[in-house]
Amino acid sequence: MKIGILGGSFNPVHTGHVRMAIEVLEKLNLDRVELLPAKQPPHKSGADILPFELRLELVERAIGNIPGLGSNPLEGERPGPSFTCDTLNCFRTEQPSSEFFFILGASTFLELPKWRRGLEIPDLASLVVVNRWTAAGEVAGFVEDNWPNAKQDEEGVWTFPEGNTVRLIDIPRLDIKGGHIRRRWLERRNLNLLVPEDVIELLEERSSEVGACWGKRT
């Protein structure tokens, strides 16, 4: 199995996340892409993050019956901060015969040196770098500077001696951010097309719980 992994706080999940998963699924001909909410994002702290179970349900509502997409509750079963290196090790242990593709935006990719064992992630999975705003040259320079043993096979594709790859792909640019969604929800503005319809419905159904984290609505 060729499995894509798209992690994030998903606070809340939005159309950009879903579209990213679909694009990678199709471009790399993967068997499946799993959206993986982080229980305790190490780079984000604060009371405005919705409970894990609610964020997971939002993800499940967002992907609905889209072929090839799924949600994964793995992080909810693990203690402590949700470090990517630990998560990928769990995937490899549970599914040793599968090939994994960790999906992240180009700007996040350039921050890997700040992550726990971030530069070791290509040892655990191939990287799919989704380019929306970052210049392709920055990604290429980062690979060359940090992984000199990676061989460039073609434009935007590098292969490590062990076989994993870094692949830069372009997708439609949907400039949607979680903070924008939260602010609009608090202001009771229309969220159509920014988040899937079923996500809007669940946010309203659980408005008391959402408001306890995001703040009082106007």
So where are the chain's domains?
2-175
What per-residue confidence (pLDDT) applies to 136?
A: 80
Taking the mean position of all CA atoms in its chain, how far away is CA 148?
Answer: 26
* Domain 2-175: top CATH class: alpha beta
| 185 pLDDT more than 90 | yes
DSSP string, 101-152: EEEEEHHHHTTGGGSTTGGGGGGTSEEEEEESSS-HHHHHHHHHHH-TT-EE
pLDDT band at 44 (very low <50, low <70, confident <90, very high): low
| Contacting residues for 141 by C-beta, under 8 A, at least 6 apart | none
What per-residue confidence (pLDDT) applies to 6?
A: 98
Q: What does R_g of the chain's alpha carbons equal in angstroms?
A: 17
* Calpha distance 104→109 (Å, rounded): 6
What per-residue confidence (pLDDT) applies to 129?
A: 97
Q: What is the mean pLDDT of residues 145-166?
A: 96
What per-residue confidence (pLDDT) applies to 47?
A: 67
The answer to which of 44-58, 89-103, 187-201 has the lowest mean pLDDT is: 44-58
